[in-house]
Amino acid sequence: MNLEAVTASLDAVRQTLEASGFNLEIEERETAKLTVTVRPGPDACPECLVPKSMFKRIILDNLGSAELSPSSVVVRYPVDLA
Amino acid sequence: MIELLDPTRELREGKMKYAARPASLEGLRVALIENTKWNSEAVLHKIGDKLVADHGAAGFKVFHKRYSSVPAHEEIIETVRREFDVMIAGVGDCGSCSSGTVLDGILLEKEGIPSASIITSVFVPTGHAMAAQWAVPDYRFLIMEHPIANLTGDELDVKVAAILPEVVGLLLKDPAS
């Protein structure tokens, strides 16, 4: 996939996360399979995150709006990183 | 025991049916639902003052949510439905509190109360996501420039002056009409 286009399509999402102290990491671990990681910074506000199911829907909507169709998207939330 | 609350659903299609709009705010009782985020109560209070002073509202009451990230609890919803004429919720200034604020508006519109939910600009995608998950992707909420948490009273006055006409417009005119 064009990772630059993926990153651009998720820019608004990145801004929402950064406003609450989180960083967004995007990787293509296998062809067309995206892994999106929400990583907390030092001042992260854990209760500010939306439910993971909603976050995944936002990711898919943004990718869809940019006509990007990965074969899979894995979302890793802070709780998954421990 | 820890109780996990997930206010999302998976319904994606639908159209918002707004409550019937009043002709004016004259004599109406205004409910303000603040979400516990810093400066939210101040913003809503200033809006309430303006609605009374400039638009003839009878008065307002501020309700405090228990948690910013979920919709107002049932007692608030029921009281507003029973005792108030219009509702303003805000200010969604983070991800989960924006979705919660949008949901407050959706729930009270469904209860027949004309409502205006205010979130800040950064969280527009979150607001739309919550509306879509409640099967009302066209639900209209209001957007205040981000951020508000670090602003002084005078700076909040500017924000309130900017959004007030939109608040009044949304309470008086069905966005779907």
Residue B154 maps to which CATH number? 3.40.50.10350
All residues of chain A having their beta carbon less than 8 Å from the beta carbon of residue B132 are 57, 61
Judge whether B144 is closer than 8 Å to chain A, CB to CB. Answer: no
Tell me the whole-structure pTM to 2 decimals.
0.90
Closest CA to B130 of B162, B161, B97: B97
Q: What is the pLDDT of residue A45?
A: 93
Query: How many angstroms away from the CA of A12 is the closest CA of chain B?
Result: 7
**Interchain contact, B94 vs A20, CB within 8 Å:** yes
Q: Where are the domains of chain A?
A: 3-81
What are B165-175's pLDDT values in tens digits? 999 999 999 99
Contacts of B147 in chain A (CB under 8 A): 19
B14 within some domain: no
Residue B69 pLDDT:
85
Q: In this structure, are residues B12 and B41 in contact, taking their beta carbons and an 8 Å threshold?
A: no
Asked if residue B24 has pLDDT above 90, the reply is yes
From CA B34, how far away is CA B24, in angstroms rounded? 23
Could you tell me if residue B8 is inside a domain? no
Distance of CA B109 to the CA centre of its chain: 10
Residues B98-131: tens digit of each pLDDT: 999 999 999 999 999 999 999 999 999 999 999 9
pLDDT at B35: 95
Total of domains in chain B = 1
Phi-psi group of B5: left, alpha or beta (phi > 0 → left; psi -120 to 50 → alpha; rest → beta): beta
Residue A57: list chain B partners with CB under 8 A.
Answer: 8, 129, 132-133
**Structural domain boundaries enclosing B71:** 29-172
Phi, psi (rounded to 5 degrees) for A41: -90, -175
Strands (E), chain A: 22-30, 33-40, 72-76
Locate all alpha helices (DSSP H) within chain B, ordered by sequence.
40-55, 74-83, 95-110, 124-133, 153-172
In the beta sheet, which residues pair with residue B38?
none
Structure ipTM over 0.90, yes or no = no
Q: Is residue B73 one of the residues assigned to a domain?
A: yes
Asked if the structure places residue B140 within a domain, the reply is yes
Q: Fold for domain A3-81?
A: GMP Synthetase; Chain A, domain 3 (3.30.300)
Residues 50-109 on B with a CB inside 8 Å of A are 67-69, 94-97, 99
Between the CA atoms of B115, B109, B122 and B120, what dihedral angle is there, to the nearest 10 degrees? 20
Rg over CA atoms, chain A: 12
What percentage of chain B carries pLDDT values higher than 90?
88
Distance from CA of B6 to the nearest CA of A (A): 6
